Amino acid sequence: TLIALLAGDGIGPEVTAQARRVLEALAPDLVFEEGAVGGAAYRTQGHPLPPETLALAKRSDAVLFGAVGDPAFDALERAMRPEQAILGLRKGLGLFANLRPAKLFAGLEDASALKPEIARKIDLVIVRELTGDVYFGDKGRGLTRTGLREGHDLMRYDEVEVARIARVGFETARTRRHKLLSVDKANVLETSQLWRDVVNEVARDFPDVALSHMYVDNAAMQLVRDPGQFDTIVTGNLFGDILSDQASMCAGSIGMLPSAALGSSAQGMYEPIHGSAPDIAGQGKANPCAAILSAAMMLRHSLDRADVADRIETAVAAAILAGARTADLGGSMSTDAMGDAIMAQLG
């Protein structure tokens, strides 16, 4: 079983090292092969996603991804920026569904800006479409007929793209509380009206799931007012980008939350939702929990080892409950020490 380990920039290498350590202990048959990605790859190979990295990802069973982003490259044209590697991998591997669970870890009530009684009720997953929308539509800069500079990006979906992510939404809801909320902006966007129509059509195959719809502005409001009302949320690439980051922060713990990018095969890409955090990179104080929990998602979704995934998730929760805290959680543990604390809980 081949794992492509793409550690990337900033704290990426530090946090994925801990995830690898946990995996090596619990799944010794995994073979890791490292690939260069992001600013680190641009530095050595002149491209944020070198062909050999994409090839490695393609032949792997799963990709364990750290983080990309490096302020040194902020002035580069868009196509050469470190973050483009993520988009290239999603598209290149056909990973159209992003699963982002958000819940408050017991003991981390202080970390959320929300009142504890509200934050404690958060237990939701956002199913975000990843390979369409305004991210991948025709885009460019140009001049208007009167010579003004303009910029444009086409927001666009077709029914096949919507139906396949809707199915992931319904399937996910089925493993949870059988409630699916689809988020769009159908009062303004034609793309959203197609989205809503197709989601309603797919719903016929899932009579056991209660489907509802909400406008994105209202969803952003409700995620603050009463996040406990949500179970599974399915939405497009752009709205999902915004809402999933918002939901993670409601749960208080950007350093704690993993994500999975899935396609139509078992292959997937797994990454913490946090970024490369250049301000604390190399200092050994990053929180490795999100990377370790991403490894757990990988075991569950790509490697069919839900039992091992459960063990890891339980160990992380137990370590937190026992008081293990990196700096982002108000503590002073190093990245290594947090890894130790989790390993200790694994027994």
Catalytic residue ranges: 135, 185, 217, 241, 245
215, 185 Cβ separation under 8 angstroms:
yes
Here's the x/- map for ligand IPM, 203-242, by CB under 6 A: it reads as --------------x-----------------------x-
What DSSP character marks residue 333?
Answer: B
**Binding footprint of its own copies on the chain (CB under 8 A):** 78, 81, 83, 87, 113-115, 118, 134-135, 137, 139-141, 144, 148-160, 185-195, 197-198, 216-218, 220-226, 238-239, 241-246, 248-250, 254
Is residue 266 near ligand IPM by the rule CB under 6 A?
Answer: no
The neighbour count for residue 276, using CB atoms within 10 Å, is 26
Q: What is the rounded radius of gyration, in angstroms, for the C-alpha atoms of the chain? A: 20
Per the annotation, does 100 bind a ligand? Answer: yes
Per the annotation, does 110 bind a ligand? Answer: no
Selected range binding ligand IPM among 39-47, 82-90, 173-181, 306-314, rule: CB under 6 A: 82-90
| Distance (Å, whole) CA 184 – CA 240 | 10
Is residue 83 near ligand IPM by the rule CB under 6 A?
Answer: yes
The neighbour count for residue 265, using CB atoms within 10 Å, is 11
Per the annotation, does 158 bind a ligand? Answer: no
| Distance (Å, whole) CA 164 – CA 162 | 6
b/e burial code for range 250-259 (CB count within 10 A of at least 16 → b): bbbbbbbbbb
Size of the site for ligand IPM (CB under 6 A): 7
Is residue 188 near ligand IPM by the rule CB under 6 A?
Answer: yes
The neighbour count for residue 328, using CB atoms within 10 Å, is 19
Query: Which one, 175 or 187, has the nearer CB to its own copies?
Result: 187
Query: Which residues are annotated as part of the binding site?
Result: 90, 100, 128, 217, 241, 245, 275-287
